[in-house]
Amino acid sequence: MSHNITSRYQATYRKDQVNLTISSAKRGTSLAFVGVAGVGKSNIINFLRNIQENAPHIKQDVERMYFPVVDATQWQGTPDSLWEMMAEALHQATSKLPSSLDNGKGALATEDGHTYKNLQAQLHRICQELKCHVMFVLDDFDKALETGPLTMLEGLNGLRSEGNRDFLSYLIFTKRLPHILGGSYNIKDNSKFYDLISPNIYALKPYSKDDALKMLAHLNEIAGSPLSDSDLDQIYELAGGHARLLKVVFDIWVEEGASGIKAAYFADKPDVQHECRRILINLHDHEQEVALLVARNLHQAEHQDVIDHLARRGILTNSNPITWFSSLMAQFLSTYERKVS
């Protein structure tokens, strides 16, 4: 039996972030989204990767727009490795361009020392001959920012020279703030690439309730609709708008028939604990320390700046009393013992 599954991507899906990204790409403006692990950035990336197919769900013209996606977790730690990944991603994203402008994979084949120049040539053809807008999506770019080298980052800025500035830009996704990641070589003062993104660094918060419930409805439909709307509301109350936690709790609920069970039941589940720990350890050290103090109601006035920052990231609400994006996360933090190396 076939099912008419509702589209995962609806007109309101992450509309602020998607519209911001598209309008930035049209101007050649780079930006960064900083969000906790599992917050749902992969779904934004998939939306952009398939932007032509998803065009009916947005109100902007994306006809000559491409978002090559680079998974930086596969980066081998060298500039050539990054250039090769970018060239391959660019080829895949623009494979339907006229052959006179995209000479196929052979045009991307590299010789020692020529990887960067070949990428430059390919971008020149796509951006200047066809006037296409290209925004490279550099996913999980934390390690690259943290380890450099700085000359590699400046190479990213260099690709925009010689007529590409209005057509080439970058969207980076990180779990931590870029200037702290690149602190060892003072990226704030020494990097023109950082200057590209520094005016446009945004917190990628957990889903709004509307988007979270849409995600749960989609999961429920795929699973054959085993849960009621009331069940889905309860899952949202437990997991908040955190995409991965929503999925974990949904799967447990469906498998174990957990309707009506309290938060403590889920908080003891290994998959839930794993996800909460992953969120915590991917915060900056000072954010981890303050988060644990807040969870135990031991924070002081001196911690307010970090609390404000955590609130901007959507991890907690800067209210009285302070609340967390997820009751499961709050319970996890209240008992977690952080090991200090």
- pLDDT at residue 265 in the model: 86
What is the reported pLDDT for 260?
61
Same domain membership, residue 257 and residue 188: no
pLDDT at residue 103, as a whole number = 45
Nearest to 200 by CA among 67, 14, 13, 28: 28
Task: Give the Å distances, CA to CA, from 261 to 117, 232, 252, 266, 273.
Answer: 59, 13, 11, 8, 17
Q: What is the pLDDT along the chain (341 residues), one digit of tens a residue?
A: 333 333 443 445 677 888 899 999 999 999 999 999 999 888 789 889 888 777 776 777 888 899 999 999 999 999 999 999 999 999 999 988 875 444 444 444 444 458 899 999 999 999 999 999 999 999 999 999 999 899 999 999 999 987 899 999 999 999 999 999 999 999 999 999 999 999 999 999 999 898 899 999 999 999 999 999 999 999 999 999 999 999 999 999 999 886 666 778 898 899 999 999 999 999 999 999 999 999 999 999 999 999 999 999 999 988 888 999 999 999 999 888 765 44
Q: What pLDDT shows up at residue 112?
A: 47
Q: Tell me, what amino acid is at 18?
A: V
Question: Which pLDDT belongs to residue 77?
Answer: 95
Q: What is the DSSP string of 85-111?
A: HHHHHHHHHTTTS-TTT---GGGG---
Look up the pTM and report it: 0.87
Structural domain includes residue 101: yes
Query: What is the span of the domain harbouring residue 183?
Result: 15-203
Q: Residues of 160-189 as b/e, b for ≥16 C-beta within 10 angstroms? A: beeebeebbbbbbbbbbbbbbbbeebebee
- Would strands 31-34 and 323-324 be described as parallel, antiparallel, or unpaired? unpaired
State which of 157, 179, 203 marks the end of a domain: 203
Is 7 contained in some domain? no
Could you give the CA distance from residue 177 to residue 138 in angstroms, rounded to a whole number? 15
Decide: 19 and 12 in contact? Cβ < 8 Å: no
For 106-173, the DSSP string reads GGG---TT-HHHHHHHHHIIIIIIS--EEEEEEET-HHHHHH--HHHHHHHHHTTTTTTTTTEEEEEE
Distance of CA 111 to the CA centre of its chain: 33
- For residue 152, the model assigns a pLDDT of 95
- What does the block give as tokens for 318? 């800067």
In a domain, 307, yes or no: yes
Flag whether 3 is in a domain.
no
> Looking at the domain assignment, is residue 93 inside a domain?
yes
Q: Are residues 173 and 241 in the same domain?
A: no
> Rounded CA gap, 68 and 49, in Å?
7
What is the pLDDT, as a whole number, of residue 300? 93
Which of these three, 159, 187, 203, is where a domain ends?
A: 203
Phi, then psi, of 81 in degrees rounded to 5? -60, -45
- Domain match, 197 and 109 both: yes
In order, the DSSP letters of 37-86 are: TTSSHHHHHHHHHTHHHHGGGSSS--TTEE--EEEGGG--SSHHHHHHHH
Residue 5 lies in a domain: no
Element (DSSP H or E) covering residue 335: helix 327-335
Same domain, 146 and 285: no
- Shared domain for 38 and 167, answered yes or no, is yes
**DSSP character at residue 310:** H
Rounded CA separation 232/52 (Å) = 31
- Cα 9 → chain centroid: 16
CA dist 194 and 164 (Å) reads 18
> Domain boundary at 167, 186, 203, which?
203
Any domain includes 323: yes
The total of structural domains in the chain comes to 2
Q: In terms of domains, do 58 and 165 share one? A: yes
Beta bridge partners of 264: none
What pLDDT is stored for residue 54 in this prediction?
A: 73
- Domain of residue 124, CATH code: 3.40.50.300
Do 48 and 185 lie in one domain? The reply is yes
2 domain-assigned: no
User: Do 193 and 295 lie in a common domain?
Assistant: no
Same domain, 108 and 247: no
Compute the distance between CA of residue 333 and CA of residue 317 in angstroms, rounded to an integer. 15
Q: Does residue 301 share a domain with residue 222?
A: yes
